[in-house]
Amino acid sequence: ISKHDLGEVYANMVARLCDLERSYNFVNKTRGFPKVCKKRPAELDHWVRDGRGRGAPPVVSNVSQFVTTWNDWWSELQPIWRRGKDGLLQEEYGDNWELLYAPGANGMLGPVACLYWWGVAVLGEDESSVEANGPVAVWTEAVKDVTWVLEGLI
């Protein structure tokens, strides 16, 4: 999740993931997130089955499909208090993060890894080589949201 430079916003998210895992004393629980109705991205399934980085990293070949799957899955993982009347996620801290308490490889590493593959797909290998337009802006907002959640979990 760090081979390519995806910019400061991404690096900040990875730093918050490290802070979170440090706060968990680097415990690696086998239990992950609760089962949800929406299926997680296929790239994440492939990566987990392949030993989380022991094989070739997933490649997001259809960004629009990935974004739809990601948004549905990520939204469904969130505590109910994050959902606004319009169904969109709100950046307003609630009282309980228990749904997202999953230390180790089966927790927040998955969403962060998804954002890495998505970022490589829309930015290429170097953030400075692409203008921040449509697909990049959507990715950036997703990275910021995951960072916000990581900060809430810490």
Q: Residue ranges of the domains in the chain?
A: 8-153
Structure confidence at residue 87 as a pLDDT band (50, 70, 90): low
Residue-level pLDDT at 131: 46
Residue-level pLDDT at 37: 60
What is the pTM assigned to this prediction? 0.84
pLDDT digits (tens, 9 = 90+) for 12-55: 999 999 999 999 888 887 777 777 666 889 898 888 887 776 77
Cα–Cα distance for residue pair 142/139, rounded to 1 Å: 5
Highest averaged pLDDT of the listed ranges 48-57, 88-97, 134-143: 134-143
Residue-level pLDDT at 48: 83
Residues in contact with 27: Cβ distance below 8 Å, sequence separation at least 6, in sequence order:
103, 104
Please provide the average confidence, as pLDDT, over all residues in the chain.
Answer: 83
Asked if residue 113 lies in contact with residue 44, where contact means CB atoms within 8 angstroms, the answer is yes
Q: Check the CA dihedral 85-148-123-104 and report its sign.
A: negative
Cα–Cα distance for residue pair 60/66, rounded to 1 Å: 7
